[in-house]
Homo-oligomer: A and B are copies of this chain.
Amino acid sequence: MSENLGDLYQVKEKMYVATDCIIFGFQNGKLKLLVFKRKVSPLEGEWSLIGSFVRLDEDLEVAGKRVLKESTGLENVYMQQLRTYGKKDRDPGYRCISVAQYALIRINEYDEELVEEHGAKWFEIDQLPLLILDHNQMVHDALLQLKQNARYRPIGFELLPEKFTIPQLQALYEAIYRRELDPRNFRKKVLSLNVLEKLDEKDRSGSKRGAFLYKFNNDNYRDLLESGYNFEIA
């Protein structure tokens, strides 16, 4: 029923609707992307994002989560619609529009076997291979939105393990913003937001001295959002 003018002209043509997932992870101070090697023709053997056709009885959002689960085993992941790519000749085979969605996952939690089974591989964000169709464009747009989004919501936390150190968090923001941040200013700012809980443990993987672990406090975050504050960092 979303026709209006369409009705008047009696032009009603169905087309394929796909969804492609831009899966971000963060490891060793680097922002990474999970990319898939196509096992089927056409374009077999080329790199692409992980996607699927949307089924008739399936919400768009559900389709995205299904793809993510099928390829990484993960559920309950932060996922957000990016935009829809609908150039008429974007897919040379047949008319197909694609709703791109991006996911932020904890890279230590995914199912490695499943990922391998799907011929997927993590690439550093600035060492991406050529992807099929408009997938490089999708990644480019997703990075831009991630950058903007990170200013207003603490989505950085979605990419870190439950317990993380402040230097790790800083490295993540540096990777997203693609610039260095001052450690004193960063720490001051992020602690002033009052959404981090300091734990008694230390993580010694990054240095001999070790850095204190923190975890994210969701309640305080909600309060903060409601009070109209924003998470602009650096």
A residues touching B (Cβ–Cβ < 8 Å)? 1-9, 11-18, 20, 36, 38-40, 42-43, 48-62, 67, 70-71, 81, 83-88, 91-93, 95-99, 118, 132-133
Q: Given A15-B15, A16-B12, A58-B88, does the pair A51, B6 have CB atoms closer than 8 Å?
A: yes
* Contact present for B86 and A53 (CB under 8 Å): no
Copies in the complex: 2
Of the candidates B1, B67, B93, the one whose C-beta lies within 8 Å of that of A43 is B1
* Contact present for A83 and B83 (CB under 8 Å): yes
User: In the assembly, what is the distance between CA of A164 and CA of B109, in Å?
Assistant: 55
* Contact present for B81 and A6 (CB under 8 Å): no
* Contact present for A59 and B87 (CB under 8 Å): yes
* Contact present for A2 and B98 (CB under 8 Å): yes
What is the chain B residue whose CB lies nearest that of A84?
B84
User: In the assembly, what is the distance between CA of A9 and CA of B58, in Å?
Assistant: 15
A91: chain B residues within 8 A (beta carbon): 1-2
* Contact present for B84 and A52 (CB under 8 Å): no
* Contact present for A3 and B53 (CB under 8 Å): yes
* Contact present for B133 and A2 (CB under 8 Å): yes
User: In the assembly, what is the distance between CA of A71 and CA of B96, in Å?
Assistant: 27
A sample of 20 cross-chain residue pairs with beta-carbon separation below 8 angstroms, ordered by A number, consists of A1-B42, A1-B91, A1-B92, A2-B53, A2-B98, A3-B52, A4-B48, A5-B70, A6-B53, A8-B39, A13-B53, A13-B55, A15-B15, A17-B86, A56-B88, A58-B88, A59-B87, A60-B85, A84-B84, A97-B99
Q: Given A17-B17, A42-B1, does the pair A84, B99 have CB atoms closer than 8 Å?
A: yes
User: In the assembly, what is the distance between CA of A8 and CA of B39, in Å?
Assistant: 9
CB of A143, distance to nearest CB on chain B (Å): 16
* Contact present for B2 and A20 (CB under 8 Å): yes
* Contact present for B16 and A133 (CB under 8 Å): no
Q: Given A42-B1, A133-B1, does the pair A15, B54 have CB atoms closer than 8 Å?
A: yes
A95: chain B residues within 8 A (beta carbon): 56-57
7 closest A-B pairs by beta carbon, nearest first, are A60-B86, A14-B14, A2-B18, A6-B53, A6-B52, A5-B52, A84-B84
CB of A22, distance to nearest CB on chain B (Å): 13
